Amino acid sequence: MYTGIYYIYIVAKNATEQKKKVVFQMMNHAIFLLFSLYLYKYVYGLLPNLQFKLPFPNAIWSMAVYFMVFWLGVRNIERYFRRDIQSGNIEMYMLRPVGYIWQKIFVLLGNGLIPFISASFLSIVISYLVVGLPVVDTSLLFWLPGVFLILILSQILTCLLFVLAGLTGFWLDNSEPVHFLISKLIMIFGGAWVPVAFFPKTLQTFAELSPFGGSMAISFAMYPNFSEHFPLLILNVIFWIIVCFILVWIVSHKAFEKLAING
Amino acid sequence: MKNDILYFFTQIKFNLKNAYALQKSFWVGVVSMVLNNTSFFIMWLLFMHATGPINGWTSIDVFGMLGVAMFCFGVCHAFFYGVRDLPEFVLRGSFDSVLLAPVNSFLKLSGSSFSVTAYGDLLMGLGVMIFYGVYAHFSLYSIILFIISVILGCIVFVCIRLLCSLVVFFIHDGEVISTQIFEIFLRPGLYPGAIFPGKLKIFCMTIVPTLITSAVPIDVVKIKSISFLIFIFMITLVWIFFTYFMFKISVRRYESGNFLR
């Protein structure tokens, strides 16, 4: 535990050296957020009936939190795997006392920590100042811890999904197509550009119950029926975490057995 | 000039041959990009399904718009990928080879690098645009307007890609910054043109000309207005001159082997 935190701290400390990078990342984030906000305001003005599908503040918050967790960069773990497998550097990491997958997770969290914190601050401030808090059917005292819990669990699920994608690189020459597939499914069913509430009912149910929607359950936590959906969201995410964890455990063992050291 | 262009096409030919040597990998790259792009179609079609036609735009127009966006992206990254890799060349000091070659620097730079996945964008974009033309029963006049506006879109895309890369001459370690600036340009072009309010639409056609690379060709065909096309042509000219001017200034700032800084 201590090793992990120290690992993350060191990587995050290194990452702070690239201040310009973070500044431009946050500029990008803020511009995109304001842009989406402006466009959706116009669309809601044109089509007032959309309010019945999802109120405007909730739509903005759901997209804001999606892009907030985007900056944590959990999806990049597949890229780390791919780079190590293709370059052969993986053997160097395998010799270290910390497990390979854990090393990559720590590096990833360390790299993403500063952009994530900055993006969270920007998302919350911009959304709050422009549309206020989302309309939810429960008190703030229950909603906030619920959102926090969903955030943690959904990011664990995202991480497991992309670890699985990365592990396919041991069999495929290039795991990029798998990464594309998973990240785009998450983009659609996580409500990145279009909130899932706009989808037909069957697709909404699929999105909520699939691992792809589950990995972005944080955006569903911004919907008005939070208290009604909270148990389902949590149970769904926990279910997929267990399934993916078992898969990662089996697949990683097979993958590391397959590894041929060049020497 | 003729020799420069010939050299550029030779570079592309050899890049393609190189990539096709690993045939399986080439097609995996192309197919993965097609898969990647399909998600945007699904997402916006679902959006249009929920909203119905907006400002005269239907699902099929959004379909066509995404086709144009992909085609412009594909052309830029399939034939001018070196422009995208410029920051890397500068940081590593390998830009010397571009400057010292007895051919046009821009053309030499453009063909010096290559992206297989861009051919996925290119082919898909082309296919979608043809489908859109057939589905919307384009007349010969519409086809000509559409082709001209798409060509203008591709030119603007290459200009912006180059301008974003030129950042590296002004900001040290500007590789990531260049990508971030490019994303700011790219993203609005992936939203349906119909949902842009008037002022924002003009802003995104002139100051950040992202809509020229996506929604404008659809608007040109829908309005069938020569004056609108001339307006877009003028904007494109401005961007070409601005890019040319910036390229000249930026290149002068290059220090050979400046990775030692």
The arithmetic mean of pLDDT across residues B171-190, rounded, is 86
Give the span between the Cα atoms of A95 and A104, in whole angstroms.
14
* CA of B197 vs chain A CAs: smallest distance (Å): 7
Q: Is residue A121 part of a domain?
A: yes
Q: Is residue A163 part of a domain?
A: yes
pLDDT of residue B261: 44
**Contact between B171 and A42 using a beta-carbon 8 Å cutoff:** no
Higher-pLDDT residue of A3 and B84 is: B84
Q: Is residue A149 part of a domain?
A: yes
At CB < 8 A and 24+ separation, what contacts does A122-125 make? A122/A26, A122/A29, A122/A30, A122/A33, A123/A29, A123/A33, A123/A64, A123/A65, A123/A67, A123/A68, A124/A64, A124/A68
Number of folded domains that form chain A = 1
For the cut 90, the answer to whether the pLDDT of residue A212 exceeds it is: yes
pLDDT of residue B159: 95
Mutate to test the interface with B, among A32, A36, A42 (most CBs of B within 10 A): A42
**Contact between A53 and B177 using a beta-carbon 8 Å cutoff:** no
Give the span between the Cα atoms of B28 and B151, in whole angstroms.
28
DSSP state of B253: T
The arithmetic mean of pLDDT across residues B245-255, rounded, is 89
Nearest to A121 by CA among A238, A29, A242, A221: A29
Residue of B44, B173, B183 lying closest to A28 (CB–CB): B183
pLDDT band at residue A250 under the 50/70/90 scheme: very high
* CA of B66 vs chain A CAs: smallest distance (Å): 14
The arithmetic mean of pLDDT across residues B15-21, rounded, is 81
Residues of A in contact with B116 (CB under 8 A): none
Q: Is residue A251 part of a domain?
A: yes
pLDDT of residue A261: 62
Is the CB of A176 inside 8 Å of chain B's CB atoms?
yes
Q: What is the mean pLDDT of chain B?
A: 89
Domain range spanning residue A248?
2-258
Give the span between the Cα atoms of B188 and B198, in whole angstroms.
14
pLDDT band at residue B134 under the 50/70/90 scheme: very high
For the cut 80, the answer to whether the pLDDT of residue A263 exceeds it is: no
Residues of A in contact with B181 (CB under 8 A): 24, 28
Q: What is the mean pLDDT of chain A?
A: 89
Model ipTM over 0.95: no
Is the CB of A196 inside 8 Å of chain B's CB atoms?
no
* CA of A139 vs chain B CAs: smallest distance (Å): 30
Instruction: Assess contact for B104 and B1: CB atoms under 8 A.
Output: yes
**Contact between A193 and B50 using a beta-carbon 8 Å cutoff:** no
pLDDT band at residue B105 under the 50/70/90 scheme: confident
Q: Is residue A263 part of a domain?
A: no
Per-residue model confidence as pLDDT tens digits over B136-160: 888 999 999 999 999 999 999 999 9
Q: Is residue A134 part of a domain?
A: yes
**Closest chain B residue by Cα to residue A197:** B50
Per-residue model confidence as pLDDT tens digits over B109-130: 888 888 888 888 999 999 999 9
Q: What are phi and psi of B57, to 5 degrees?
A: -95, 135
Q: Is residue A209 part of a domain?
A: yes
Residues of B in contact with A50 (CB under 8 A): 50-51
* CA of B170 vs chain A CAs: smallest distance (Å): 13
pLDDT band at residue A117 under the 50/70/90 scheme: very high
